[in-house]
Chain A
Amino acid sequence: MERVEPSATRPGTAAAERSFDLAKGTVRELNQFLHHELPGSGVKHIDVLNPKGAHSIAVGIDHAVDIDVRGHGGYYLGGMNKFANITVHGNVGWGVAENMMSGTVRVKGFASESAGATGHGGLLVIEGDASLRCGISMKGIDIVVGGRVGNFSAFMAQAGNLVVCGDAGDALGDSLYEATLYVRGRIKSLGADAHIEDMTDADHSKVGELLKRAGFSYDPTEFKRVASKRSLYHWNADAGQEY
């Protein structure tokens, strides 16, 4: 793997820049650097060049660092992220920021299926559309999607917030637990146990804050709130399995 010599583009932080060209090296070499050599290296910013849809770029990071991925990523980009701030200047494949713990992952293009799946924390911003199952089983992550989300989004979502600036597909929030969903556009259909609730002042300020962090300027009052009816929480023996 060719590592570009530290550049002096940022005065006073000469060693703070690093560049990895995936046309010349492997994703494994990049991730090994991020896991083992990054701590204590003084590197604050990394450019990843020529990602060309490779899988597992910048996964499992446990340190604060800014990463710019210059192109389209493959599956699981930024998965399990902790502390890092990752920007993808392109689209991503399945499972972007899956199981993220903290930090930020921003996708300038569109995201394929299961974006932010099982995420525990941090902020995932998708500036374009997100495909099916966005936020499936999310556990505390905040997700803001600039475009629409596909079918079965926020399926079994347990905690956190999903803000959708466009439309939502079929079965939004099916079997929803305590995550809250906010949709500005049309909802094609709600999943089992999901319903629309009135927006409160707290919702307006939460949506406003998430939109601001994500860089969108929509009016929070344009959003609908979707939450759980909580009727699937407990097994009801009298229901004869008819729900």
Chain B
Amino acid sequence: MCGIVGLLIKNPAMRDQLGELMTPMLIEMAARGPESAGMAVYTQELSENERKYSVHAPQWDYNWAQFEGEFIKRFGTDAQLGVKGNHAILTCNEPAKNVKPWVKQSFPGLHILAAGRAMDIYKDAGHPADIAKRYDFPKLVGTHLVGHTRMATESAVTPDRAHPFTAGEDFCLVHNGTISNPFMIRRKLEHHGIEFETDNDTEAATRFLEWRMREGDNLEEALRKGFEELDGFYTFLIGTRDKLALVRDAFACKPAVVAETDDYVAIASEFRSLAHLPGVDNAKLFEPMPEELCVWSV
């Protein structure tokens, strides 16, 4: 069991309430996943040449100043670092193909959780309420959010195996369920030069769908290919720079409920996560059908 939550704000005036509305949704789903939690937030997009990286350190009081100094020394370029304990958002002009190998080699203890122009990720092991407090989730501001509370079924409880998982740029996925053929997917993708960072089944699904999109599929086409190739039980909630997508497998063994108003689209594993939202009593409430594509644009 795991909990998924998502929120896309349609009414621009409400974007500064994004984290405030979402945090109780996440905490309510702690009963479905008390071990780890994570949140991807889509903020204002950086310019074409800028990139930002969500970086996770093994200690809360990590020496980020040293990291920043070394980064500037290596790349000779300015960088901004927004630090929240063991997480830092690094903003710079360097593409992932330069930054990722350098971090891996020079700072092997650090883990790049996300790369792109819009998405920040915070995830860690611990109770979702503690994690929300640790990273100030109520203060998150942006267009949409993807969150998860984890109850592990098949790989260890560690920060890097918490959800959301990411691949490529500004692409993230959270999962409730179990993929039965992750190693088959992994072997297939490794032939295409795609590297994996964990032994987690959700990582395989994430990398598969992002790979399909890099191969030219749009999000909907990639998800349809996922129905054919990803075996197992799943409710997936997927974030891209401008979209949220929600799908359930053919047997729909894992729950999802959606509340849509003129102001927002809110998604959760269970209605109790949505009960506090303003205007939810008059929202359009529904549960996606098996293999139905539910996609919302910012």
Contacts and interface: CB of A to CB of B under 8 A. Distances in A.
Q: Do A and B come from one complex?
A: yes
Interface of A: 52-55, 71-72, 74-75, 91, 93-94, 109-110, 112-113, 131-132, 150-152
Interface string B255-298: 10100000000000011111110000100011101100000000
* 3 nearest CB pairs, A to B: A53-B272, A53-B271, A52-B275
A141 B286 CA distance: 26
Given A113-B255, A132-B252, A74 B289 contact: no
A92 to B, nearest CB: 9
A109 B281 CA distance: 12
Contacts of B273: 53
A11 to B, nearest CB: 32
Interface in B201-248: none
Contact of B272 (A52, A112, A150): A52
Contacts of B287: 110, 112, 131
B290 A91 contact: no
Nearest to A170: B290
Interface residues of B, number: 17
18 contacts: A53-B271, A53-B275, A55-B272, A72-B275, A74-B270, A74-B271, A91-B285, A93-B255, A93-B270, A93-B271, A110-B285, A112-B257, A112-B287, A113-B252, A131-B252, A150-B252, A151-B251, A151-B252
Nearest to B248: A132
Contacts of A94: 255
Nearest to A94: B255
Nearest to B289: A150
Nearest to A50: B275
B290 A72 contact: no
Contacts of A113: 252, 255
Contacts of A55: 272
B247 to A, nearest CB: 15
B270 A132 contact: no
Contacts of B255: 93-94, 112-113
A150 B248 CA distance: 14
Contacts of A74: 270-272
B270 A53 contact: yes
B2 to A, nearest CB: 16
A125 to B, nearest CB: 19
Contacts of A91: 271, 285
Given A112-B287, A150-B289, A151-B290, A72 B271 contact: yes
Contacts of B290: 132, 150-151
A74 B273 CA distance: 11
Contacts of A110: 285-287
B146 to A, nearest CB: 21
